[in-house]
Structure 1
Amino acid sequence: MKAKTVAQSRVSIGNMMQPDQANVNGGVHGGEIMKMMDTCAGIVARRHSRMSTVTARVDELEFLLPIRVGNLVTCHG
């Protein structure tokens, strides 16, 4: 089976942040963003390896700016 190139495994997903993803102050929960990132990474891993994959561990995730309800968040993998 021929291996895929990196370009063939790329994916971009986007979501408009909704009120059910946020706290009472309108800030989106970090877990929602982490879930989106994990989904994007999982699609890339599956496409590239052509096998089932899992996230074994996340060492660190640093949020530099708040994400608010109504913001469009795009994840590229």
Structure 2
Amino acid sequence: MAERPLSEANLVMSVVMQPSQANYVGNIHGGEIMKLMDSAAYAVARKHSHTNVVTARVDEIQFHLPIFVGELIS
């Protein structure tokens, strides 16, 4: 089976946020979200490069709304 071109590639990860990922008021730590983003980026990059990859740099991430324990994020 031929791989799709990068322009057609996509990945959707869905995760229910757990209490262990939250601070004392129930908001999910930004670092937990960054970790999930990095995991998704790795999966896509690894698939298309056929080798191990690393995140070299993230310039900026802006969080506009809190994410709470029990929420499903995708």
Taking structure 2 as the reference length, what is the TM-score of the superposition? Answer: 0.89
Task: Return the offset for 1:51.
Answer: 1.4
Q: Does 1:34 align with 2:15?
A: no
Task: Please state whether the residue corresponding to 2:13 is helix, strand or coil.
Answer: strand
SS in 2 for 1:66: coil
Cα-to-partner distance string for 1:30-71 (whole Å, 9 max, x where unaligned) = 000000000000000001111111000001000000000011
SS in 2 for 1:57: coil
Tell me the residue number matched to 1:62.
62
Gaps (5+ residues) in structure 1? none
C-alpha separation in 1, matches of 2:12 and 2:53: 18
The equivalent of 2:72 in structure 1 is: 72
Distance in 2, matches of 1:60 and 1:17, equals: 23
- Structure 2, gaps ≥5 residues long: none
Please give the alpha-carbon distance, in whole angstroms, between the structure 2 residues aligned to 1:48 and 1:34. Answer: 21
The alignment yields a C-alpha RMSD, in angstroms, of 1.6
TM-score (norm 1): 0.85
Divergent runs of 4+, >2 A = none
Percent identical pairs in the alignment equals: 50
Partner residue of 1:52? Answer: 52
Aligned residues: 72
